[in-house]
Structures are given as C-alpha cells and as structure tokens.
Structure 1
Amino acid sequence: MIHSAPLLLPVSRPPIRDGALAVADGMVVAVGHRREILTAYPDAQELRWPGMIVAGLVNAHTHLQFTGMAAVGARRYGSFEEWSDTFDAAYRDRPAADWASDARDGALLALRHGTTAVADVVTDIEAMPVARQAGLTGVSYLEVLGDTDAGWAETGRGHLISTLRELSGAPGGVIGIAPHAPYTLDTGVLADLGVLARRFGLRRHIHLLESAHEREYTMSGSGPLARMVRRLGFDFEILRAGGSGQGPAHFLDSLGLLGPDCHIAHGVHLDARDRALLREREVSVALCPRSNRTLGQGGPPIAALLREGNPIAVGTDSPASSPSLDLLEDVRALHRLARRQGYQSPDLARRLVEAATTGGARALGMANGAGRIGVLEPGARCDFAVFPLDPGERDPYRALVEDGPGGCVATVTGGDQAGQVHLAISAPERRHGH
C-alpha cells in the first residue's frame, strides 16, 4: 500500500512536496517523493490523501478514563487545590462508572484529532487495555496513590505485584507505573515504586510541580497542599517530619525515581535547578498548558525549557481539566506562551511539532528500534494524521500549528497491511497499480 499527499511531514526529515510512503504489515518500508515511491512499487495500491500527511501525534499525558468527567473541566479554578477538591468529589459520586467505556470514548476522541499514541494514566484497572483495543499504541501507566508506608507493607505492595504479574501476562500493550505525585504517596512507598519499576522493567510517569504549593509541601510539609492532604486523611512521613528540606524534583531524585526511563507531567513551577536536574537525569517533561490554565496555574516555563535543551513532550491531560483531547490545541497554546515568554527563534513551530511527535516517542521509550513512533521513516509504525492544509509559501510546521487544531480529517494507525484508517471525514482517492 502507498499513502501519498501534496505534502508529507515525516518529522524525522524535511517536509516532502508531493510525498509518499510505502507500507507493509503496518510498518513504513519507504518514504520519498511520490514518483520515486510509485516507481519502486509499481503494483501497489495508492491512497491519495488531501493536504498534508503528518507523523502520528503522541499525547504524552492523559487520563482517558476521565473523559466522562468533562463537567469538572468546563470551568476555571483559582488553584490546583480547588480543582482537586472538585475532582475528588465528582469521582466519589461515580462509584458505578463504566471506566472502560469512558476510556474508549476518550481513545476515539484522541484518534479523531490525529493522536496515534498515548501515555495513558489508569486509575481503575478495567480501563487498562482500552487504548490498545481502540487502535492506539503507547504506554498504559497503572496509577498508585494514597498509600502510607504501613498500608503498603501490609497489603499495598503485594497487591501491586500481583496486579503487575497479571497485566504482564495479558496480550498486547505496554504497561508502566505511575506514582501519582510527591504529595499523594508516603516516602517509603515512592522509593519502593522505583525499585519495583526497575525489577519489572517498567517505565515511570509522575505528576510534578503542577501546583504552586508543591514546593512548600516537600520542603516544609506545610501550606495549602499539605492542608489538603491532611484533610483527605493521609498521614505521611513528610507531614510528620515537617518536610524533607528538598524541592519536589530533588525529593523524587533522592528516592531513585528520576531517570531516562521516567517522564513527568506538567512541570509548571520548575525552576532553573529543577530543569538542570531533569536534563542531567534525561527526564522528559510532558507539557499540558490548557489543563494548567483551567487549574489557575498559568503556564510552564516553555521558553526556558527550549533554550536550555530540556527534552519536552506535549499532553492534553483529561477532559476533567482540559477543553478537549486535541493535542494540537496544546501545541498552539505552547506556541503563544513561548512567544509571550520571549522565545523569538524561527524554529519554534518546528520544535513544538517535534515535541508532539518525536518528543512524545522519547518520553514513552518508543523513539528507537522496530515499530518506533512519532516519525515516518522505514521501520516506523504506519501511524499518521491527515490535515487538509496547503501551507503555500508558509513554513509547513507553522501552518500545522496555526491551522491544524480541529482540522484532522483522518488518522491511520499501523494495523493490517494497509494500515488501519480511523474516522476519515474526507475519503482518499484510491488508485490501483502503476
């Protein structure tokens, strides 16, 4: 099968006018100018798409199972803690929720907007396999939160190990561990989750510095976040000890949680020391600016992250804190935020599209080897999105950032020999043999 379009954006190489890719068994086998690909594969069937083919988008932080809680994300909040109280109440009010069905709805919405891979944080186990069943690739991270050291030793650790063993025997999908955040788990539990992740060979994904009060919490065990944690009934060591004397990033690092097999979400309040530590540990940051805005948190230091060379990715978070699962909307928000923060380099649009593709692949540990994602090149999965855009004389990356949100007309994911087509609004022109 050959997929072609007036413009091909492989991300791993410069844009190709009148480009094409040849696909076999759900994998890309060749990329180049359409005439070259048609000549090389004269008997292949061609699907001619309108506009621009773009390497599949990678949503590096979301909770698909919370798609049915969009009412929580439909308003603005004065603080993270205010949103968290509202979310917790809404979650408790849904004891009979069909989390698998909600996750499936979220997966279809993600596909509708050109996302082909996700870092999906799963709180309720029934939602664990849904992303893969819907056609998405990526990593499903089993979330752990609320455990004290005593409860962990008594039942929590054994339950997690048995769950991980059960999941590792299930067909399909890559799993990881998501220690929720520095303020929702006891110190010993956090350290042990790093040990267990290494023992089982699992990636880690952690919420970090989403709240403006998180640094106060880990430094001195005080402030609005500490009061919220106490109100929830958690008796953690860090609260009893009056803090750790360390900021959140360095606190996690002291527990052995940071490293190239870990990525964090949000990082709104990262300072220069934090950013330097994350670079040293090769930890990617999944930025979710629209979610941060909903929670009254401003935005992450995108300009500094770009200038200093931190590996970044892009996420939407869930509809419980974000207007949609359209990843390009967050890319566009980051573009505007970076300009406001003084980043004026002409490479901005390209670097942000890379963050939403190759950056996400790196964060999920899927940037290399057979079946890699976030690029269109030989050996990569046949994952791409189609946007009916004609950049004209504009930079194609800038055209995608400015006009791409809301405009995806089809998403293709590596599946059968041709690739699996999802939610095509504008049917491609089908041609046989050349």
Structure 2
Amino acid sequence: MTTARTRHRVASGAGGRGSAGVVVHSAPLMLPVAGPPLREGALAVRRGRVLAAGPRREVAGAFREHREVRWDGVVVAGLVNAHTHLQFSCLARLGRRRYGSLEEWSTAFDAAYAEASSAPDALATGRRRGRKVDWAAAARKGARAAIASGTTAVADVVTDMEAAAAYAEAGLTGMAYLEVLGDTEESWHAEGRERLITALQEAGLPMGVSPHAVYALDVAVLEDLALLARSYRVRQQIHLAESAHEREYTVRGTGPLARMVRDLGFDFAVLREGGTGLGPVDLLDGMGVFGEHCHVAHAVYLTPDERRVLRKRGTVIALCPRSNRTLGLDTPQVAALLEEGNPIAVGTDSLASSPSMDLLEDVRLLRDLAREQGYTDADLERRLVGAATEGGARALGMASGPGRIGALIPGARADFAVFDIDTGTREPYRTLIEEGPGRCAATVIAGRRVWQRARS
C-alpha cells in the first residue's frame, strides 16, 4: 500500500520558457479523465491552471525551472458533486436510517428542519442555546467533508441564503443554486418573484436557481422561473422523478404527493384542477425548463420517451443512488441511461439523506447497479468516473472555457485528488472505484493543497 505523503525536489529541464512559478505534480499513475491513464504521469501548474499534462519526463523537461511535488498514489481529476445540500449536514441523523418513501422522509425532514430553524444547536450539539442553527457553519462542515473525500466542486442547493457562500469559503469551486419552493401564483407575484431577483442581484457570487420540484410550486411559478432563468442567463437545477408518485400528481393531482402538499397547506392549481394531464417531464419541457443550462437530480422514474426528451435537450441527469436507497426508492436506470447516451453526473445529495459525502461511494453503487441491469461493455468504470468529473462539470456549465473543471488538460483549473491506492497492472478506473472510497489522501484546488490526510 502507498502512503499519504509527498516528496518535493527542485528540478531543471533543458530548454523551456516562462518557467517561473511552475509546479510539476507527478505520480505513479494519473487519470486526467479527458485522456488515457498516464503511468508515471505529471502536470505542470502555474497560477492555479494546468500548463501541460503527460509523461513525467516530458513535462518536467519542458520547463527550465520548476518545483516538483511527487505524490504517492493515484492522481485523479477533481470529483464534481453535481447535487447536494451542504447546509443540511447538521441533520445527518436523518441520513443514517432507512425510509419507506420520499413522502415519509419528507415528513421527517420537515419536522427536523423546522426544529433546527427555531431552536438549533440542539441538533448539531445536543444543547439548546435559544438561537437557530448556523446554516453557513453547517454548510462549511459539509463542504469540508466533501473535500476530504476528493471533491473539488459542487452544485449546492441552498434553502437559506446565509449558506450560499459556504462552499466557496471552504475552498470549493462550483455554484450555489437558490432553492424556490412553496410559492403559489399569488404569493409569487406579490413578493416571491421580486425577492428572488433581489437575492440573485445581491449574491456576490455566481448563483443559479433551483425550483424544488413540480409538486413544490404552482405551475405558473415554474413557468415564470424558466423564463427568468433564460432572461437572466442563470443556471437551473431541479429535483425530477424522485418519487414514484410524481407522475400521478402532475397527471391527475392525486396520490401521496398530493396529500402531502395539501397537508402542508399549499393551494396549487394542480390540486384544484385535478392535474394537468401531463407527466412531469412533458409538463416541464412545455415550459422550456430543460436545456444545457439546466440539470436535474435523481430522475429515478423515467420512461424511455422521457429519457429521450432530456437527451434531446442536452440536460444532464445527476444520479444519487445512495440517497435513493435511503429513501426506499427504486434504483436509477443506469444501464439504460448509459446505453442510450444520456449525459449523466453523480451527486451525494445531503447528509440528511445519505450516509456520507464520499462521491466515489455513489460511483461504486452505480457501477454495481449497471452490472445488475445488464450493462456489459468494458468501458463502464471509465464512463462512471467520467460522470463524476466531466459529467458534473457539464452540469455546472464548467466543461469548457477558462473555468473548465473535471479534466486535467492544458488550460483547465488545476483541481485534483490523490487516492492512497496502488493499481499495479490492474485496470485503473476499476481499481479506483473499488478501492478509492474512504482513501482520499489529499485534495488540491486551483493548484493549492486544501486538505491532506494526517500521516499515522
């Protein structure tokens, strides 16, 4: 087994220009994701970006003066968590049990969230101090847990605005998505719309919008949010087909979701009018919700036609299999999504519905599910690691341009993770998936080491 340490030395190469401030990161194995695995590979990094990637001898020789950081283990392009709610890390007790349905979990979550919002520190520490939970601190805690498992970027859904900057404060890149839920058409036009626009303008960071789900907002609000997102050029993220009862809700306005929404006191048009006659995908597609600017979370209960609609729109699906299992849901259709060519990413969801922030645990479960569902191609592990890196970057709109993440190629951000494993002559992607969970040794974001496991 390798150890979680680094070796530093100064090297000089023949030729090369503009070498000032260059750091060469090398390792026995590198997985750039955008290219083939590199045995004895290296990255040249300056000012947080990748200058060159390739065999160590070639990269080191291209720069006359540089400092080398030698990593033991496997260097992988930074993992991108495409769906989480970092602020709910203080509600982790909810994620440590199993539920019978989304509706059952939602009831438990709503009670815990209400308690945390009015009395907190109680949930986080067991002590009641007469003030609500510090959602920003809870989000930073979740962000640190994500970083310690090799995640370098997140698509973080934020319910309370105070938690919006927490991911960046912890050192992560990515984007926060301000969640919108509970608005009727009347409340939306009375104050909700203006409140959202003001929040986006005053955010101070790039921010997306997350209409929670088709059952959490009036139809007119969902449609207006789609228009606002395109008008303001902001990205969207929405929970889709997470519940087995979502279709019944949108088509007929009946079922367990409808009862839950009524119990919460929301007077939505879908309930008053007996549904829309459309499934959730067709309903949202008719509003213009989907596109490359939008990605969806979960998407467990999709028909082949619905998968085709999302594929046609270029909408990425963030799969969260451990969260689905916690909520007692069916498994996502991993094999079908891969075989049909739907763009996918991977998310953990929050600690309120998942046992950890370790994204590779979800990748490992997706691999097992795909095999059980009949996927037999040899590229499975490579594609799933790609989903957890480049797929997440695509979901965030960061798969190209100067802010590119998810791959170690020239011009991209120097975001990577080091895993304390030795692949030997084994297939590297398979070994990473099987042995990588729980064995992140270090995380580097924009060329800066933000976390490293203490040596025993």
TM-score higher than 0.5 here?
Answer: yes
The residue matched to 1:141 in structure 2 has which SS? strand
Mapped to 2, the partners of 1:161 and 1:355 lie a distance apart of: 32
Report the AA paired with residue 187 of structure 2: G
Map of 1:369 onto structure 2? 401
The SS at the match of 1:385 is: strand
What displacement does 1:376 show? 0.2
Matched, 1:83 2:105: yes
Counterpart position of 1:431: none
Q: Which residue of 2 aligns with 1:33?
A: 55
- CA–CA distance in structure 1, aligned partners of residues 443 and 198 of structure 2: 36
Say whether residues 1:302 and 2:334 are aligned partners.
Answer: yes
Once the two structures are superposed, what CA deviation does each residue of 1:313-339 show, in whole Å capped at 9, x if it has no partner? 000000000000000000000000111
Q: Which runs of 5+ in 2 are unaligned?
A: 1-22, 118-131
Matched, 1:249 2:249: no
Q: Provide, for residues 172-222 of structure 1, a one-character-per-residue CA deviation record: whole Å limited to 9, x for no partner.
A: x42100000000000110001011111211000000000010010001000
Matched, 1:420 2:415: no
- CA distances 1:381-417 after superposition (whole Å, capped 9, x unpaired): 0100001222122110101111111110000000xxx
Aligned: 1:139 with 2:179? no
Following superposition, the deviation at residue 426 of structure 1 comes to 6.1
Residues 1:181 and 2:217 are matched in the alignment: no
User: Match of 2:184?
Assistant: 148
| Pairing 1:360–2:392 present | yes
Q: Secondary structure at the match of 2:376?
A: coil
Q: How does 1:329-340 map to 2 (within 5 A)?
A: 329-340=361-372
Alpha-carbon distance in structure 2 between the residues aligned to 1:48 and 1:360: 27
Specify the alignment match of 1:272 in structure 2.
304
One-letter code aligned to 2:321: P
Q: Is the 8 A contact 1:209 1:248 kept in 2?
A: yes
Which amino acid in 2 is paired with 1:123? Answer: T
Q: CA deviation at 1:273?
A: 1.1
State the Cα distance separating 1:143 from its structure 2 match: 0.4
1:58-117: CA deviations, max 9, x gaps?
000000000010011110001110000000000000121100000000110000000000
Q: Which amino acid in the other structure matches residue 82 of structure 2?
A: A
- RMSD of the TM alignment (CA)? 0.9
Structure 2 counterpart SS, 1:244: coil
Q: Which amino acid is the alignment partner of residue 420 of structure 1?
A: R
Q: Determine if contact 1:286/1:315 at 8 Å carries over to the other structure.
A: yes
Secondary structure of the residue that 2:81 maps to in structure 1?
strand
TM-score w.r.t. the length of structure 2 is 0.91
Conserved 8 A contact 1:27-1:371: no
**Aligned-residue offset at 1:247:** 0.7
Instruction: Find the aligned partners of 1:422 and 1:155 in 2 and give their Cα distance.
Output: 41
1:19-418 superposed matches below 5 A: 19-95=41-117, 96-167=132-203, 170=204, 173-414=205-446
- Write the distance in 1 (CA, Å) between the matches of 2:398 and 2:313: 18
Q: Match of 1:107, SS?
A: helix
1:5 maps to what in 2? Answer: 27
Name 1:430's counterpart in structure 2: none
Gaps of 5+ in 1: 428-434
Paired residue secondary structure (1:93) = helix
String of CA shifts for 1:254-297, please: whole Å, max 9, x gaps: 11111110000000111101100001111100000000000000
> Could you tell me how far apart the structure 1 residues matched to 2:299 and 2:217 are?
18
Write out per-residue CA displacement over residues 117-159 of structure 1, whole angstroms, 9 at most, x where no aligned residue: 0000000000001101111111110000000000011111111
- CA 1:426–1:11 in 2, change beyond 3 Å: closer, same or farther? farther
One-letter amino acid matched to 1:91: Y
Q: Offset of 1:363 from its aligned partner?
A: 0.7
Q: Which secondary structure does the structure 2 equivalent of 1:299 belong to?
A: coil
TM superposition score normalised by structure 1? 0.96
> 1:16: which partner in 2?
38
Q: Which runs of 4+ in 1 moved over 4 A?
A: none
- Greater relative CO (CA pairs within 8 A, separation 6+): 1
